[in-house]
Structure formats: structure tokens, C-alpha cells
Amino acid sequence: MSDWREALTQEERDDLKKSDHPKWMSPMLATLTDKRFSDPDWIYERKLDGERLLLFRDGGDVRLMTRNRKQANDTYPELVEACLDQDCTDFVIDGEVVAFKDGVSSFSRLQQRMKITKQKEARSSDVAIHFYVFDLLHVDGHDLDALPLRTRKQLLRRLFQFDKPLHFTPHRNEDGEAYFEEACAKGWEGVIAKRADSPYHHSRSRDWLKFKCENGQELVIAGFTEPKGERKGFGALLVGYYCQDKRDGGDGERLCYAGKVGTGYDDDFLVEFRDRLEAHSVDECPFADGPGGKDVTWVEPHFVGEFGFTEWTDDGKLRHPRFLGLRRDKNPRDVVRESAGETADG
């Protein structure tokens, strides 16, 4: 591999930081906004509905790590092999693993792979996965955080071979509004706008913004109702998010109730997840403002799900919610109500 640093400007070489191979690097997270814009200083990528992964390679050792630091090597063994096939032997790349259904990334389809924990079963799965790489955090003994995004993406294209299941994430320059309209027309989840000269922040940042075609929210599951009629498993999930407790002058966190979700489940999930929920049942309601009801079984806030909905009601509940899938890459304590922020220039 040629010296990739030769392609950098002197200023960029000065910004490089020598580093041993990292054990962990927190991913950069985007901020939701309801403002759409076009700007030559920004790039625009398709928002994929999958599982965020950081891929670490240190010589012959490869680790696929989720956002909450769970290793996923046995779930996606083809990604491990793709990493080992690279000429570069010391790197950390950032991206999203997805599965497609009718040409659109489908989180519910990916769920069938996410719950697999044995390599043999994963290799025989009929759910083909793809990993879309969109950033380079570390390479050849150097952290790249301080380099501009465009430079990091140029290094990705130069240093890596992109064959299935690895893909370079394409982007558009400048035309954010048109790309967002195209994304929604095609049934995509939305667009991620990224400031082209931004460094990599290991936290949520306004240098990355989410343009979402429809409302979606990660929520903590803390209860379920009994099924009625011929329904199996459970009737609905009771969900919520962590918020600041301002009652009586308090400033701590509490689990706020966001409503019941009774649609989006298949029969197999209803039965299987009922058993998992019962293993975490508790006597007291985990919500600070939860509903009553004799047919409710409370569970400790252990599981996180992804839900679609039309809007938030005035009293903070979901309108027309539906279940999309479980998330294993999110710590329940990190789940807060996501709301659109200010404009990109705000």
C-alpha cells in the first residue's frame, strides 16, 4: 500500500494524530431537523434503515461493533471476511449494515439476521446483507478525526476495495432539497446532510443532520397488554422515553409514557417476544406517568424498539404508531424524545 499521506495537504498532514489501534471509538450521530436546504458546503447521503456498525481491523483481528459496544462478528461473518480481504491491515471504518426488500432498505428484514448469533446459521440465512461505508476514523496508526469529511471519504475510496458486501456510500453535492424529494418518492427513509469540511465528532453533532421522510422514534418497552380474541402473545407494547423530571423542582431523569403500540407484529414475533418480556417482568409500573389497567404486565426497561408514527399529540403521545423492529444497538438510558432542531445555520 502506497503512503496515503502523500495525497494530503501539509495542513492535513499536520492534523493527523498518531495512535495505537483503538479498542473503541464512539460513532458520530446526526441531529434531526425539519429544515431542508441546499448548500455547496454540504454533501447529502441516502439515509439507510439498518444497524450502525464500526468495523475494527488490527492485523488478523477483526471486530464488528454496534453502537452500544456489542460484537456482531457471528451475525455478519461475510463482513469479517471482507475486512480481512483488504490490503490495509489497521483501520476503523464507519457504516450501516442493511438488508433490502423490493429495493428499499428494510429494518424488519434485517431483524432476521440481527437475532442470529451463530456463524453457521448466519451463512445459511437467505437474508443477504450489505454494508455501506461512509467514513474512515483510523488508518495505519493514525486517527483521522481532525481531517475534513471530504478528505476522509477520498481516503476511503483510495485505500479500500469495494465488492459485495462492502459498498462505498455515494453522495450528492449541494442539491439537498431535490435529493430529499427523490428519496421520499422512492420510499427511502430520508437523507443525511453532512458539512463537507467537518471533523469527526464522537458524539451527536449538528454537522450531520437528518432529513426524514416520515416520523420515526426509538422507544423503550416497559409493558405489554394481554391479547384478545384469536390474537397470540400480547396485545400491545407500552413504550416511552427518558426525560427530565421537573416535578417538585426535580432535575433527574424519568421514563415518560408515550403510548401503546398494537400493530406491526407477526404471529411468530408475538409469541417469541412475549416469552422474552415475561423474563423481565416487574410488579411496579416503570413509567413516571404510566396508565392503569388490569391487563398490563410491566417489564423492566430492558428492550428498545423502533417505531413509526404520524405525529406527536399535544400531550406527548404517539399518533398511529406501528412497530418496525427491535434495536440491539441502543442503550435504553440513551433513548430520549427526538425532536427537530434549528436550521443548519442556527
Confirm whether 47 is a catalytic residue.
Answer: yes
- Catalytic hit among 35, 47, 118, 330: 47
Rounded to whole angstroms, how far apart are CA atoms 329 and 75?
13
Q: How many residues does the chain have?
A: 346
Separation between Cα atoms, residue 344 and residue 346, nearest integer Å: 6
Number of H helices, E strands in the chain: 7, 22
Contact between 152 and 200 (Cβ < 8 Å): yes
d(CA 123, CA 72): 13
Task: Identify residue 341 by its one-letter amino acid code.
Answer: G
Q: 298 - beta bridge partners?
A: 223, 282
DSSP-derived letter for residue 68 is T
The residue among 151, 148, 169, 150 whose CA lies nearest residue 47 is: 169
User: By CB neighbour count within 10 A (0-12 exposed, 13-18 middle, 19+ buried), where does 59 fall?
Assistant: exposed
Element of type H or E holding 231: none
What letter does residue 104 receive in the DSSP assignment?
E
- The rounded distance, in Å, linking the Cα atoms of 209 and 194 is 6
- Please give the Cα distance from 254 to 287 (Å, whole number): 7
Q: Residues with catalytic annotation? A: 47
